[in-house]
Amino acid sequence: MAFHPPEPFRIKMVEPIKLLDRDAREAAIRRANYNLFSLRAEDIFIDLFTDSGTSAMSQKQWAAMLEGDEAYAGARSYFRLTEVIEDIFGFSYFLPTHQGRAAENILSACLVKPGDYIPSNTHFDTGYANICDRGGYPVNFVIDEAHNPTLYHPFKGNMDIQKLRDFIKQTGPDQIPFGMITITNNAGGGQPVSMENLRTVSQTYKEFGIPFFIDACRFAENAYFIKLREPGYADKSPLEISREIFALADGMTMSAKKDGIVNIGGFIAMNNEALFEQARNELLIREGFPTYGGLAGRDLDAMAVGLREALEEEYLAYRLGQTAYLAARLRELEIPIIEPSGGHAVYVDAGLLLPHIPQEQFPGQSLSVELYLEGGIRTVEIGSLGFAHPEPQTGQMVYPKLELVRLALPRRVYTQSHLDYVAETFGKTVARREQIPGYRLIYAAKLMRQFTAQLEPIQLEAHLSEPSLAIGRL
């Protein structure tokens, strides 16, 4: 059985959740046009949609919120957060933002010109869209091993250094205003990046005079993976490892909704003073005054406490243990998952599980819809619906290598019996997998279409209430 240290906390406040009956679930998903973003949260039993902004705050965080200083400028909350950010990340300047994509928008607004290229291991969709929105091209250079779901590699989020170097030489550093890396690599399976790889990426960018920014949403989980898996780090604390990571970079963007353990918040940090001044002007126009960004003073205080709690070893052992436990339960059912399991989520290989559904009919979305119908569970597709895109030069559709469904675990929210229920629901769903239909789009926006897309099942809807009749129709 998997390693699952007991929760290093007990529950003091509860939020009721309810499982609707099958008819009500069918009606709800139809109303949502088969897009789980459009469901009402109260119609969901277990919500594994995202670990972003959905975590439970601690008593210390709630207490800190009461001390929030709501002064428009120069609030005490800002200085308390400044101290924490300086201590963990060590950059000379930072600006609070309302969430991660606001930080990404500021970075892109300041640095991306039309025709520029921004390399990363794998850009997450918000960073990707922000670069495209400024006329730039995001490019991904994750190691090839990342595309092999069953292969064990301790650091599947690593960048392929040779590919990165070749690309920089071929493109010319002038067309690369900054380089990135995402820790952990969310779009690539929540996989960590090793310190060795981070060091080499940093050296490579430096060699060509390219500023290096880290998308640091899940930095604490990445640091703990380094401690567990990388030689030489077993005796270092997650805080020490984090400091070592960020000393390699010129700046970072952060969604504190992940490893800041808050419901809203983020920031951008950097060492370059001129860039800071430019970023501050962008912030002033769209987010707010530089000492609060788009946030209330109390949000800054919750973030200051949360960033420290995310680095506590007992918490990280439980956190990564919980993900590993869910992965083990799914493995027992022979559900194909990305190996090894990630930090914040387990990624199921829907393409392999539903081979009868072609990529252009969204097998990941099909599985997500089916898990909701079976057990009121909300998951998210990370496949063709979210990531298929026209190739910039030819306009031809490029499909992602994998069709995944992500089961993201909110921090400190669900217990082991919730995870057991998720595994049981999976078991029932895959038992009738041949009956699961593909989907077609009936509405799609140009950018980030997964959020507002409307879909319909490709076969007759009769299978919803009469599963046995649907056999053989595909």
Task: Identify which range of 10-18, 22-30, 95-103, 133-141 contacts ligand F0G by CB under 6 A.
Answer: 95-103
Under rule CB under 6 A, residue 35 binds ligand F0G: no
CA distance 204 to 210: 8
CA distance 320 to 4: 8
Q: Count CB atoms within 10 A of the CB of residue 267.
A: 29
Under rule CB under 6 A, residue 52 binds ligand F0G: yes
Tell me which residues in 255-274 interact with ligand F0G (CB under 6 A).
255, 257, 266
Is the Cβ–Cβ distance between 406 and 347 less than 8 Å? yes
Scanning 143-272, the segments in alpha helix (DSSP H) are 161-171, 195-207, 219-229, 238-246
CB of 406 to ligand F0G, least distance (A): 8
CA distance 424 to 131: 41
CB of 264 to ligand F0G, least distance (A): 8
Tell me which residues in 423-452 interact with ligand F0G (CB under 6 A).
none
Under rule CB under 6 A, residue 138 binds ligand F0G: no
Query: Which is closer to ligand F0G, CB of 177 or CB of 190?
Result: 190
Instruction: Indicate which single residue of 112, 146, 217, 275 sits in contact with ligand F0G (rule: CB under 6 A).
Output: 217
Under rule CB under 6 A, residue 122 binds ligand F0G: no
Contact letters (x/-) for ligand F0G, 157-196, by CB under 6 A?
A: -------------------------x---x----------
With CA atoms as reference, report the closest residue to 95 among 321, 348, 363, 287: 287
User: Helix (H, G, I), strand (E, B), or coil: what is residue 427?
Assistant: helix
CA distance 271 to 264: 25
Task: Identify which range of 79-87, 110-118, 123-131, 148-156 contacts ligand F0G by CB under 6 A.
Answer: 123-131
Number of residues engaging ligand F0G in binding (CB under 6 A) = 15
Under rule CB under 6 A, residue 100 binds ligand F0G: yes
Give 11's contacts (C-beta < 8 A, 6+ positions apart). Answer: none
For the chain, the first-to-last Cα distance in angstroms comes to 37
Give 448's contacts (C-beta < 8 A, 6+ positions apart). Answer: 125, 126, 129
Query: Which is closer to ligand F0G, CB of 51 or CB of 349?
Result: 51
CB of 142 to ligand F0G, least distance (A): 13
Task: Identify which range of 99-107, 228-236, 238-246, 306-314 contacts ligand F0G by CB under 6 A.
Answer: 99-107
Query: Which is closer to ligand F0G, CB of 126 or CB of 291?
Result: 126
CB of 471 to ligand F0G, least distance (A): 35
Under rule CB under 6 A, residue 381 binds ligand F0G: no
CB of 106 to ligand F0G, least distance (A): 12
Under rule CB under 6 A, residue 204 binds ligand F0G: no
DSSP H or E run through 365 = helix 363-375
Under rule CB under 6 A, residue 126 binds ligand F0G: yes
Query: Which is closer to ligand F0G, CB of 38 or CB of 175?
Result: 38
410 alpha-carbon distance from chain centroid? 11
What would the DSSP string read from start to end of 295-327?
Answer: S-HHHHHHHHHHHHHTT-HHHHHHHHHHHHHHH
Query: Which is closer to ligand F0G, CB of 126 or CB of 242?
Result: 126
CB of 275 to ligand F0G, least distance (A): 19
Amino acid at 306: G
Cis ω for the linkage preceding 184 (within 30 of 0): yes
Query: Which is closer to ligand F0G, CB of 50 or CB of 204?
Result: 50
Residue 72 Cα distances to 75, 80, 290, 297, 305, angstroms = 7, 15, 10, 9, 21
- Token representation of residue 237: 């604390």
With CA atoms as reference, report the closest residue to 84 among 96, 102, 72, 97: 96
Task: Identify which range of 2-10, 122-130, 192-200, 389-397 contacts ligand F0G by CB under 6 A.
Answer: 122-130
What would the DSSP string read from start to end of 263-287?
Answer: SS-EEEEES-HHHHHHHHHHHHHHT
CB of 171 to ligand F0G, least distance (A): 23
Under rule CB under 6 A, residue 121 binds ligand F0G: no
CA distance 296 to 89: 22
CB of 438 to ligand F0G, least distance (A): 24
Tell me which residues in 57-86 interact with ligand F0G (CB under 6 A).
none
Q: Which residues pair with 419 in a beta bridge?
A: none
Under rule CB under 6 A, residue 376 binds ligand F0G: no
Task: Identify which range of 16-24, 65-73, 124-132, 383-391 contacts ligand F0G by CB under 6 A.
Answer: 124-132
Interaction site with ligand F0G (CB under 6 A): 50, 52, 99-101, 124, 126-127, 182, 186, 215, 217, 255, 257, 266
